[in-house]
Amino acid sequence: MTDTPSTTRVRTSIADGICTVRAMMRHVMETGNRRDKLTGALIPAHHITEVACEHNGRVVMSCAWGTGIARNPLLSFRFRGARPGDVLTLRWVDNRGATDVTHVTIE
Amino acid sequence: MTMRPPVNRSRRRLLAAWASGMAALPVAGWLFPRAARAAWPKAAFAATTAEGALRELFGGAAIEPSDRVRITLPDVAEDGAVVPLTIETDLEPVRSIVVVSEKNPVPLIARFDFGEDALADTLATRIKLAESENIIVVVQTPERLCTARRYVEVLIGGCS
């Protein structure tokens, strides 16, 4: 499978059939409480709302996020049953409907 | 009789070209699959207190403090905008882990939902803290809700 162009970086490592996933997404994660320094206007909230991580097409972990996740979100977790060559897919969607999809081959 | 403005044909052609171009994209692969997500808990994110958010998520179910939920956070966070958080638990199986803040403008920070193959033993992310406050973590198993909390001193708030 070819890797999809994406702004997300995903690193995987396997030990004893357990895969550790470390993903870094690129997103402003605006809270909606910040003001533009020049105009004083409120900057509207803009944040990732949902993340899903699939292993060979099955969802292993999903997230519901608000504005309390830091800018350029980091996510690290583990799951069982991974083998080298398996495909891991990480998707997110934000509150404006923008999406990002990343496919990586587990090594 | 009303006068209609002349039709802008080049604009129409542009729109048509754009529409056909969009149709040619492999849209299906980019859509966020409905099945992949538990519904985003809107009411819980709208709650203005940590207790309110937990009530929206778990109803009135009892949440018991447990030393099987361990939270790693800095004692002092210099910048509240980026605070590393690690949650560890030996509870199994875990259905979800919820992170709530005591004083953030939006108290509910995140819910993480785990599938059958997931190990919820170690989960890490980075969060924002508005001021010095407690972070409350709830781990949900099929039978119960276990919680732990940890206080973080915040030097510069990260939510404004």
Q: What is the pLDDT of residues A67-90, one digit of tens each?
A: 999 999 999 999 999 999 999 999
Domain definitions of chain A by residue range? 8-105
A8-105 belongs to CATH 2.60.40.10: yes
Q: What is the pLDDT along chain B (160 residues), one digit of tens a residue?
A: 555 655 555 555 555 555 544 444 444 344 454 444 468 999 999 999 999 999 999 998 999 999 999 999 999 999 999 999 999 999 999 999 999 999 999 999 999 999 999 999 999 999 999 999 999 999 999 999 999 999 999 999 987 7
DSSP assignment string, chain A:
-PPPP-S-EEEEEEETTEEEEEEE-----B-S--B-TTT-PBPPPB-EEEEEEEETTEEEEEEEE-TTBPSS-EEEEEEES--TT-EEEEEEEETTS-EEEEEEE--
If you measure CA to CA, which chain A residue comes closest to B122?
Answer: A77
> ∠ CA(A70), CA(A73), CA(A75), 5° rounding?
120
Task: Find chain B residues with C-beta within 8 A of A63's C-beta.
Answer: 110-113
Q: Are A43 and B90 in contact (CB under 8 A)?
A: no
Flag if B110 and A63 touch (Cβ within 8 Å). Answer: yes
Write down the ipTM of this complex: 0.93
Instruction: Kindly report the backbone phi and psi dihedral angles of residue B36, in degrees, each rounded to the nearest multiple of 5, phi listed first.
Output: -75, -10
pTM as predicted:
0.84
Give B42-156's CATH code, choosing from 1.10.3720.10, 2.60.40.2470, 3.90.1150.10, 2.70.170.10.
2.60.40.2470
Flag if B110 and A62 touch (Cβ within 8 Å). Answer: no
Cα–Cα distance for residue pair A27/B130, rounded to 1 Å: 19
Flag if A69 and B127 touch (Cβ within 8 Å). Answer: yes
